[in-house]
């Protein structure tokens, strides 16, 4: 692994302070030394931020390959620098908000969007209660989900505009790239959960707008798995890798809703067989593979999301909850109870954005259970569907309140994102820093 040191400050400023230092009385030396250090640190921080700037005279960053991340970062999601001195950004100072806003934030939209679909099903076709579910719940949840997606997408778009280098580093990151599927999946969920009161059906070809980016990402990610390059699956597989497969099943559901069953079956098949490969890889992780720390344990629930989604999508393609859908659903049931049996691993750590990983798997599992309970009418299936509906809705509501408090009141939701702070090669980095000019940094 290359070792680099953080650049120091501007030479002209240092010479000026040094001359003042020699002309002052001895008792004033400490004051000027402190002033010199403060200005050096301030200049260093300013120049390091400018490395990520898109506007002004910020230099273009150097492309980092997967091996660079794997050799310099540690942790199951490669989010911790092995050597903090190799950070191109200050580790003892809070960064601008946009640099701290990760692509992982779109996980919030998955939970809200899936809840909108759930309550639409309950209000229209999935009657499992003693009384009719009012459609107003679907309207409220869908409206909140749309607002949340607009806020998240707008914020991340600003990050692309002002700090494109940070976004590029996230895209090249072997783990973070999985989260670039999430915005498109969130859009599909909102399209499927749109309230009936709007009176207009989903546009017939809207699926192209959302599924095309997912297919393009499939070619990149799965192609690296196949070719065995730097991003091969055995080196980067962890539970969050499920997100790279989620778009195939959600996209298949949307395409089947549009009436293109053959195309939907194509996307479903691609997702399902890659899911089998991923499942085997995760079950047979090497001893050297990093274990998830407590803060990321909610991501384990993504194991439930894929078979649940595959079951629901297959039922939509076939037109009924048939034998294949039941078999896949039963595997999701087993995974759900396997995680519940290990409930002790899901508490005892501070709230963070990974907690939203509970929401989508539970909601999709609830939708699959509702469909199964309508196919196999039995008091146990009906009760199980009701309990899951209450559980998933309460979790989404609780996490929504906690997210608002941590973001706007306690301001602890988005710490410094060390996954993008990796220093590039020393010679090129120093050359770029030397050419940078001091500009006002956008917030």
Structural domain boundaries of the chain?
A: 11-94+421-435, 100-419
The enclosing H or E element of 80 equals: strand 80-81
Angle formed by the axes of helices 107-124 and 182-192, to 10°? Answer: 20
pLDDT band at 67 (very low <50, low <70, confident <90, very high): confident
> For the chain, what percent of residues have pLDDT higher than 70?
79
- The counts of H helices and E strands in the chain are 17, 2
- For the stretch 148-161, pLDDT in tens is 999 999 999 999 99
Average pLDDT over residues 260-264: 95
Instruction: Note whether 299 and 240 are within 8 A (CB).
Output: yes
Nearest to 179 by CA among 142, 221, 140: 221
CA distance 290 to 72: 14
CA distance 138 to 132: 13
Length of the chain: 443
CATH of the domain spanning 100-419: 1.50.10.150
**Rounded-to-5 percentages of helix, strand, coil across the chain:** 70, 0, 30
- For the stretch 395-413, pLDDT in tens is 999 999 999 999 999 999 9
Instruction: Note whether 51 and 436 are within 8 A (CB).
Output: yes
CA distance 26 to 199: 81
12-26, 44-58, 185-199: the lowest-pLDDT one = 12-26
Quick one: how far is CA 376 from the chain centroid? Answer: 35
* Positive or negative torsion for Cα 258, 260, 261, 266: negative
Show Cβ contacts of residue 400 under 8 Å, excluding neighbours closer than 6 positions.
112, 144
Instruction: Note whether 307 and 329 are within 8 A (CB).
Output: yes
C-alpha radius of gyration, the chain, whole number: 25
Quick one: how far is CA 433 from the chain centroid? Answer: 31
Average pLDDT over residues 198-223: 87
Residue 4 has pLDDT above 70, yes or no: no
CA distance 263 to 274: 17
What pLDDT score does 358 carry? 96
């Amino acid at each position: 692994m290359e070792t680099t040191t953080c650049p120091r400050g501007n030479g002209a400023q240092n010479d000026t302070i040094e001359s003042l230092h020699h002309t002052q009385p001895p008792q004033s030396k400490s004051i000027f030394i402190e002033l010199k250090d403060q200005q050096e640190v301030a200049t260093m921080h300013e120049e390091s931020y400018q490395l990520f700037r898109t506007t002004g005279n910020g230099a273009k960053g150097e492309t980092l390959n997967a091996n660079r991340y794997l050799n310099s970062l540690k942790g199951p999601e490669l989010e911790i620098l092995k050597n903090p001195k190799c950070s191109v950004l200050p580790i003892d100072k809070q960064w601008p908000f946009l640099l701290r806003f990760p692509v992982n934030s779109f996980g919030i939209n998955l939970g809200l969007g899936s809840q909108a679909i759930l309550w639409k099903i309950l209000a229209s076709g999935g009657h499992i209660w003693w009384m009719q579910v009012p459609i107003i719940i679907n309207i409220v949840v869908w409206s909140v989900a749309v607002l949340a997606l607009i806020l998240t997408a707008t914020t991340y778009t600003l990050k692309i505009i002002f700090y494109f280098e940070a976004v590029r580093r996230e895209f090249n990151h072997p783990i973070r790239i999985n989260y670039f599927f999430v915005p498109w999946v969130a859009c599909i969920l909102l399209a499927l959960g749109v309230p009936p009161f709007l009176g207009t059906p989903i546009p017939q070809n809207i699926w192209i707008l959302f599924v095309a980016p997912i297919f393009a990402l499939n070619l990149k990610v799965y192609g690296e798995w196949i070719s065995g390059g730097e991003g091969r699956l055995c080196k980067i597989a962890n539970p969050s890798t499920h997100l790279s497969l989620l778009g195939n099943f959600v996209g298949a559901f949307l395409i089947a809703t549009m009436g293109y069953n053959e195309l939907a079956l194509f996307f479903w098949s691609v997702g399902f067989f890659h899911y089998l490969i991923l499942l085997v890889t995760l079950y047979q992780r090497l001893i050297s593979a990093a274990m998830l720390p407590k803060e990321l344990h909610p991501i384990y629930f993504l194991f439930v999301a894929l078979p649940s989604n595959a079951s629901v999508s297959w039922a939509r393609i076939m037109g009924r909850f048939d034998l294949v859908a039941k078999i896949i659903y039963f595997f999701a049931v087993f995974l759900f109870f396997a995680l519940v049996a290990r409930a002790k691993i899901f508490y005892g750590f501070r709230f963070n954005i990974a907690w939203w990983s509970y929401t989508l798997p539970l909601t999709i599992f609830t939708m699959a259970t509702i469909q199964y309970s309508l196919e196999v009418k039995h008091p146990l299936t009906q009760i199980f569907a009701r309990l899951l509906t209450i559980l998933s809705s309460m979790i989404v509501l609780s996490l929504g309140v906690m997210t608002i408090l941590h973001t706007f009141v306690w301001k602890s939701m988005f710490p410094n994102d060390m996954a993008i702070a990796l220093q590039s090669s020393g010679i090129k980095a120093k050359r770029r820093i030397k050419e940078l000019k001091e500009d006002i940094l956008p917030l």
